[in-house]
């Protein structure tokens, strides 16, 4: 009886051990599956990390390019401001020259009028009103009524007046006039480091004049300027212009894809 009970106990214990082993095998399989899952997750994380590093490198490159564009745009802006300042100074210098010539011409004409008046008074004293012939002038000169020095003085003033009038006309030509039928004069246009001049880029200049006349906004794009002068780069633009009746240089500048309009004319 005892032998039978012992046999049953051993069998029960064996079954228990087998169940424990089975449970351990199940846990082992689950652990192995967990390890595989962790390996896969780790692989995915490595890929995500590599992708993030690539993206970060791309963003850094974009940031460096943006900084470079900003530096270039800043240089262009400073150059445009310097050009505008130089033009204003040149304009003021031309106006100063013109005003000085006008003042000199006024004084010379005053001296000329004075000498002519003195000569006319001398002629009236001799009952010779009106113009005189060379023979009559020579006669008065010989008679001592009009000295040769006075005639030379008169000729000198007349010559100086003509010279000043010529210089004044030349000085006024230097000051850029407003084109006929326009309310402003576009002096310079630049986009992406390229200058746009009348003639070869007349269509663009005409578009700008139309926006100025209509008072409408225009957007700085490659299409507006008829192409991309600096491929793959963020571009800036600069427009310098004068308004009718003003001697102040106006300046539009900024980055592409922005909208602008000309300053309204106050006349």
Question: Which residue range(s) make up the domain with 210?
Answer: 176-267
Domain total for the chain? 2
How would you write the pLDDT of the chain (267 residues) with one tens digit per residue? 555 566 667 777 777 777 778 888 888 787 787 788 888 888 888 888 888 888 888 888 888 887 887 787 677 767 767 776 776 776 677 667 667 666 766 766 666 566 666 655 655 554 444 455 555 555 544 444 445 555 566 666 667 767 766 666 555 544 556 777 788 889 899 998 899 988 889 999 999 999 999 999 999 999 999 999 988 888 899 998 888 877 677 888 888 999 999 987 655
- Take residue 70 and report the two structure tokens written for it: 């900003």
State how far the Cα of 203 lies from the Cα of 182, in Å rounded to an integer.
16
Q: Of 133, 159, 174, which residue is a domain's last?
A: 174
* The model scores a pTM over 0.85: no
Q: Is 251 among the domain residues? A: yes
Closest CA to 191 of 264, 248, 258, 261: 258
Q: Of 146, 174, 202, which residue is a domain's last?
A: 174
**Same domain membership, residue 264 and residue 186:** yes
**Same domain membership, residue 112 and residue 194:** no
Q: Is 71 among the domain residues? A: no
Q: Is 49 among the domain residues? A: no
Dihedral angle computed from the Cα positions of residues 214, 217, 219 and 223, in that order, rounded to the nearest 10 degrees: -20
State how far the Cα of 250 lies from the Cα of 239, in Å rounded to an integer.
8
**CB contact set of 118 (below 8 Å; sequence gap of 6+):** 150
**CB contact set of 110 (below 8 Å; sequence gap of 6+):** none
Q: Of 174, 190, 219, which residue is a domain's last?
A: 174
**At what angle are helices 2-125 and 148-174 packed, to 10 degrees?**
160
- Take residue 182 and report the two structure tokens written for it: 């326009």
């Amino acid at each position: 009886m005892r032998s039978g009970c012992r046999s049953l106990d051993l069998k029960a214990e064996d079954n228990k051990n087998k169940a424990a082993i089975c449970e351990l095998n199940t846990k082992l399989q689950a652990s192995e599956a967990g390890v595989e899952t962790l390996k896969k997750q780790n692989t995915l994380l490595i890929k995500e990390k590599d992708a993030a590093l690539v993206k970060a490198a791309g963003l850094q490159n974009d940031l460096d390019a943006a900084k470079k564009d900003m530096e270039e745009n800043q240089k262009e802006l400073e150059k445009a401001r310097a050009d505008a300042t130089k033009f204003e100074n040149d304009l003021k210098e031309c106006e100063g020259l013109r005003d000085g010539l006008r003042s000199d011409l006024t004084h010379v004409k005053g001296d000329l009028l004075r000498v002519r008046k003195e000569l006319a008074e001398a002629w009236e004293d001799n009952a010779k009103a009106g113009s005189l012939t060379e023979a009559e002038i020579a006669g008065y000169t010989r008679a001592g009524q009009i000295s040769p020095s006075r005639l030379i003085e008169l000729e000198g003033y007349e010559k100086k007046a003509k010279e000043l009038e010529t210089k004044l006309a030349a000085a006024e030509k230097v000051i850029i006039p407003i084109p006929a039928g326009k309310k402003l004069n576009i002096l310079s246009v630049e986009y992406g480091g390229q200058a746009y001049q009348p003639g070869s880029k007349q269509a663009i200049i005409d578009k700008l004049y139309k926006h100025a006349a209509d008072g409408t906004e225009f957007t700085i794009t490659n299409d507006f300027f008829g192409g991309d002068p600096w491929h793959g780069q963020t571009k800036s633009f600069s427009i310098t212009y004068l308004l009718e009746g003003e001697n102040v240089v106006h300046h539009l500048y900024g980055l592409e894809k922005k909208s602008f309009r000309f300053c309204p004319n106050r006349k």
